[in-house]
Amino acid sequence: LPALATCSRQLSGYVPRRFHHCAPRGGRRLLLSRVFQPQNLREDQVRSLQDKFGDLTCKSQRLMLQVGLIYPASPGCYHLLPYTVRAMEKLVRVIDQEMQAIGGQKVNMPSLSPAELWQATNRWDLMGKELLRLRDRHGKEYCLGPTHEEAITALIAAQKKLSYKQLPFLLYQVTRKFRDEPRPRFGLLRGREFYMKDMYTFDSSPEAAQQTYNLVCDAYCSLFSRLGLRFVKVQADVGSIGGTMSHEFQLPVDIGEDRLAICPHCSFSANMETLDLSQMNCPACQGPLTETKGIEVGHTFYLGTKYSSIFNAQFTNVYGKPSLAEMGCYGLGVTRILAAAIEVLSTEDCVRWPSLLAPYQACLIPPKKGSKEEAASELIGQLCDHITEAVPQLHGEVLLDDRTHLTIGNRLKDANKFGYPFVIIAGKRALEDPAHFEVWCQNTGEVVFLTKDGVMDLL
């Protein structure tokens, strides 16, 4: 009987009160004091964490450690803490929208990848020490997937009855990738274990594959524009992945590890790796090139039949004959984008997010316990309930900073550090009739006093 009762409570959506922080619906409040966040680390604590893991540092890494977005686990590996996971889930949703708008279908391939696949393309040797290798109990060799061209091409090759009528296939996944980087550094910017979105496309002709390539590049442009990140698309080297054409999506910023040559007069831009070192004139218009540094956040490759010919990934063409698939592959550094966005948008002391990715959209600050304004506490609590009930998009997006033993000033300082797009305070003017709340719009720097209706309009 007790088991049945538990079961029926679960089915009816009952959530025990002690779990109210993560309650799925209803007017229950999300309380900041319940968020797991080793926050407010002092400078020296952050430094000792960095020293322990021998990590080179940068602004985003320092801030992410300071406000408890990440915590080091081992060199190049980080625990992603609740705010970061929320931001990453939002980023993945935007990526899904962009990939599915061009016909992308989501898959999920194993990280454990058998050595034979990599031996077939010779990358078992070519990738050298970057490949993290292991053996199972039977002595069979594997690596932990750093990318999945081999696996996906073998999967397509195993489908014996593909017709040109079914193509193109645009298959993608968002999974952990493993690379034994010689020097993991800069926090999530260069990890040994990180999240990547990788898409692989299969077309029936080079022309169709070129169209698909352009389509994916346009989707990447749309993604970075929606995130409000200034980016450049540059010609790039194909590296160990191979193929005949390649572009990188780069965020221009000083700590970037890539050197980019950009022509201020025409649309030419390239990773310096692709030029002859001394070539500082634009190959397109001969004007002088300017140099800037960038963080590589995305990379696209036109592969042709490099992989499909090795694994025999074929389809039946319009003449009923077998024909090799024309391929492309397209990576986005998911965790790298999060850190790179923080790097370019934040001040030295305060995290700033692309609005679409902010872990919570608003933080509400009630008065200090025992203060003259304490009577306004319930007003802001009601505002919190009202917002989440009236604006479905903000459901689960509004945090109440219930640490009322702290002054409003101290909690506002924290809120500013965390970068909620809106911070709403019940101060003196909350006792007026009608009550006015102080609203800090973090992304514009504006501070306004608004009634409950005004707050609703703003949000």
Work out what residue 336 binds among Mg ion, ligand ATP, none; the CB cut-off runs from 5 to 8 Å by kind: ligand ATP
Choose the one of ligand ATP, Mg ion, none that binds residue 326, judging by a C-beta under 5 to 8 angstroms depending on kind: none
Q: Measured from the CB atom, is 195 or 353 closer to ligand ATP?
A: 195
If the CB atoms of residues 333 and 421 are measured against ligand ATP, the closer one turns out to be 333
Residue number with the shortest CB distance to Mg ion? 299
Contact status: 148 vs Mg ion (CB under 5 A) = no
Q: Which does 148 bind (CB under 5 to 8 A by kind): Mg ion, ligand ATP, none?
A: none
Residues that bind ligand ATP (CB under 6 A): 147, 179, 181, 190-191, 194, 196, 296-299, 331, 333, 335-336
Cβ closest to ligand ATP, residue 80 vs residue 399: 80
Q: Toward ligand ATP, which CB reaches closer, 271 or 308?
A: 271
Note whether 325 and 312 are within 8 A (CB): no
What is the spatial distance between Cα 314 and Cα 319, in angstroms, rounded to a whole number? 14
Q: Is 299 in the site for Mg ion (CB under 5 A)?
A: yes
Residue number, 30 or 339, with CB nearest to ligand ATP: 339
What is the nearest approach in angstroms of Mg ion to the Cβ of residue 296?
5
Interacting partner of 190 out of Mg ion, ligand ATP, none (Cβ under 5 to 8 A depending on kind): ligand ATP
**Minimum CB separation from ligand ATP for residue 331, in Å?**
3
Q: Which is nearer to ligand ATP, 292 or 410 (CB)?
A: 292
Nearer to ligand ATP, 194 or 440 (CB): 194
To ligand ATP, the closest distance from the beta carbon of 322 in angstroms equals 30
Binding mask 259-298 for Mg ion (x = CB under 5 A): -------------------------------------x--
Asked if 190 touches Mg ion (CB under 5 A), the answer is no
Q: How far is the CB of 240 from Mg ion (least distance, A)?
A: 9
Query: Which residues sit at the interface with Mg ion, rule CB under 5 A?
Result: 296, 299
